[in-house]
Structure 1
Amino acid sequence: MKITIIAGARPNFMKIAPIIEAIKKKQSEGVDIQYRLIHTGQHYDKKMSGDFFEQLGIPEPDANLEAGGGTQAEQTAAIMIRFERDLLENPTDLVLVVGDVTSTMACAITAQKLQVKVAHVEAGIRSGDWTMPEEINRLVTDSITNYFFTTSEKANENLRKNDIEEGRIFFVGNTMIDTLLKHRSNFRKPRVWDELRLSERAYIVMTLHRPANVDEEGKLRVLMDEIIQHSQGMPLVFPVHPRTAKILQKLGVSHPRLHMIEPLSYLEFNYLVERAKAVVTDSGGITEEASVMRIPCMTLRDNTERPETTTMGTNELIGTRPKAIRPAMERLFAGKWKQGGDIPLWDGRAAERIVSRLLIEFQNTEASAATAAV
């Protein structure tokens, strides 16, 4: 069996790393399974070259489509054109896409037009917010997917509502958590830990990048003021997204306790999260990691595509209104934040389940084709 694996942005690589490892394990057992890794080049991040691949044990991609830059439409077109060429030159039995970035949607469409089956890892998640480009990517990808690998029962329900047959939905768990659990013992102390004299449970980690929070300059300033004012003297460690950094610099936002630092590597960032008092974020993936590590997480969004982090984890949606910060901080420092619990199948074995299921489905397809030829 030949599988072409697609990744286009930093979170994608965290999700595909354990899948590649599971494939290699099957190969070591004598199973006839091969993979080809394609980096679409959608996002470039210096922390994703060199040390990032080494830290997560990801091999260098077999091809980089270098399709970054431009508008979303231009990027989608570039990915499709270049991936089509690569797919024609390197035939495969299946294209595996993960997550919900532009590369996910563009490569799924390209594969289906060439009559190549598609497997979507992290299928079925929905925010219900069509202003998010990721939501459009999810909807389109799931409308043309053959095999749906899900992270939660809620995702299963979403797919059933769209009349997806039960036999094509596979509840396997979360490959991002596979990566987290595998590397947790290897988290690496960043330089900023000693530079800022940080100590466990005595600082807050922040990440902000979504347009609803950072595009309205006046609102962003008030949001930052509220966080600073109500964080009870704790240092705020803020690895800043380049886009957000430009806006904050323009606004002149600064404070002695606000430490805006360069983006960190995967192992360094999670070292900080694991030891933090809390996380303030608008990122979906971070809510998953914080929940598994039982770190209080305040999400500055009005919706989430990962509701299991709020119903079973440590995440709470507090919305995008700056005035929501104070009561949330008061609950945190009063020790009234929820503890969270185990989330079903987030146990570090999702990738094993995915690869095993793909092999079964491929064998079934081969057997059906052989029977039809008789």
Structure 2
Amino acid sequence: MTRTLLTVVGARPQFIKAAPVSHALRRAGGVREILVHTGQHFDAAMSDIFFQELDIAPPAHNLEVNSLGHGAMTGRMLEKLEIVMQAEKPDAVMIYGDTNSTVAGALAAAKLHIPVAHVEAGLRSFNRRMPEEINRVMADHLSALLLSPTQAGVDNLAAEGIVQGVHHAGDVMYDITLSAVARARGESSILAREGLSPKGYQVATIHRAENTDNPERFERVLAWLEQAAQTMPVVMPVHPRTGKLLEAQGRKLANIRLIAPLGYLDMAWLVNQSAGVMTDSGGLQKEAYFHRVPCTTLRDETEWVETIESGWNRLWTTREYAERREIADYGTGHASDLIATKVKELMG
């Protein structure tokens, strides 16, 4: 019997995470996956290109919910997702990560008594001022299947009383990074286009609300990056929110080259060939490790604590890295196959 899985995505990292799992579900057979795009990331540079590059089927539904505050965006998504779920009648709903799309998908499914599978469950920064932290906690407590990329995530869930349906699955981002680097080596021309030399530049990204919504903190982050750029050039793909802020302020960045958002292959190769990464992105912290590139996190805490403990990452508030070692938690590049198996079991 073919079961129906409804997958909710809305932001760039979720498109990337969904790709290897969708491929694994196809290989496993017996599952009809319906992809729903909430519209949270809506322009071609942050959305369309990822479906094309990563061989994901075009979304069956695009809810076109974006450019709203947290409450309005989540509420509008919840309303529209409920309509889609009632029409499609899925056997389970899959959500990824920690965005407004994530929590809206979990809430809509839970209210309709549809079991929820959460990929990247159990992550905690323990900073409840971050909207992403609230989204994570709510999504986990509404989920029937909790697929954690790390043992730390499993431990966090146990501390909150969640032990049923919990699995240490490994990280699907590692799965896709392995294949993306092989493709990007032959297909990406990002270094030639930007006139960059391997290991002769650093990569920076800023997009988190905790950095962009506070003018004083935003300026501190920019000044920190300008100081880092004095030792080695910095290339920064600009998130739309950050670009609008810089434009509104008329802020020019010294020794930092601003470029348009990149597709996944170009971004993977840009990071792979860099000397270092500076970011407030959770996903990019891990991707830096996958490429074995040191990272500095432009936040006061991180949910990816193992990257700090293993010496591949540090917070911008500290000067030194821990002693460097490999991270076993992320698996061997087959997390998506385990996730596909567990999701099929959830659906019966």
* TM-score greater than 0.5 by the shorter chain: yes
Tell me the residue number matched to 2:251: 252
Separation in 2 of the partners of 1:245 and 1:39?
Answer: 23
SS in 1 for 2:6: strand
The reply on whether 1:360 has 2:337 as its aligned counterpart is no
What is the Cα deviation at residue 227 of structure 1? Answer: 3.2
Letter in 1 for 2:173: M
1:206 maps to which of 197, 204, 207 = 204
Tell me the residue number matched to 1:5: 7
The reply on whether 1:20 has 2:22 as its aligned counterpart is yes
SS in 1 for 2:5: strand
What is the Cα deviation at residue 99 of structure 1? Answer: 0.6
Tell me the residue number matched to 1:57: 55
What is the Cα deviation at residue 223 of structure 1? Answer: 3.9
Letter in 2 for 1:56: L
Letter in 1 for 2:4: K
Tell me the residue number matched to 1:43: 41
SS in 2 for 1:244: helix
Tell me the residue number matched to 1:173: 170
Tell me the residue number matched to 2:113: 115
Change in 2 beyond 3 A, CA 1:116/1:302: same
| Unaligned ranges ≥5, structure 1 | 364-374
SS in 1 for 2:342: helix
What is the Cα deviation at residue 232 of structure 1? Answer: 4.7
1:186 maps to which of 152, 170, 183 = 183
Q: Pairwise mapping of residues 20-99 of structure 1 onto structure 2 (< 5 A)?
A: 20-27=22-29, 32-99=30-97
Change in 2 beyond 3 A, CA 1:203/1:145: same
Tell me the residue number matched to 1:366: none
Separation in 1 of the partners of 2:343 and 2:193?
Answer: 47
What is the Cα deviation at residue 50 of structure 1? Answer: 4.1
Change in 2 beyond 3 A, CA 1:219/1:116: closer
What is the Cα deviation at residue 69 of structure 1? Answer: 2.7
TM-score of the pair, normalised by structure 1: 0.86
Give the RMSD, CA atoms, in angstroms: 2.0
1:347 maps to which of 313, 316, 332 = 332
Change in 2 beyond 3 A, CA 1:142/1:196: closer
Separation in 2 of the partners of 1:36 and 1:177?
Answer: 24
Change in 2 beyond 3 A, CA 1:229/1:88: closer
Structure of larger gyration radius: 1
- Identical aligned pairs, as a percentage? 34
SS in 2 for 1:47: coil
Does the CA contact (< 8 Å) of 1:313 and 1:339 recur in 2? yes
Tell me the residue number matched to 1:140: 138
| Unaligned ranges ≥5, structure 2 | none
TM-score of the pair, normalised by structure 2: 0.92
Separation in 2 of the partners of 1:190 and 1:220?
Answer: 31
Does the CA contact (< 8 Å) of 2:180 and 2:268 recur in 1? no
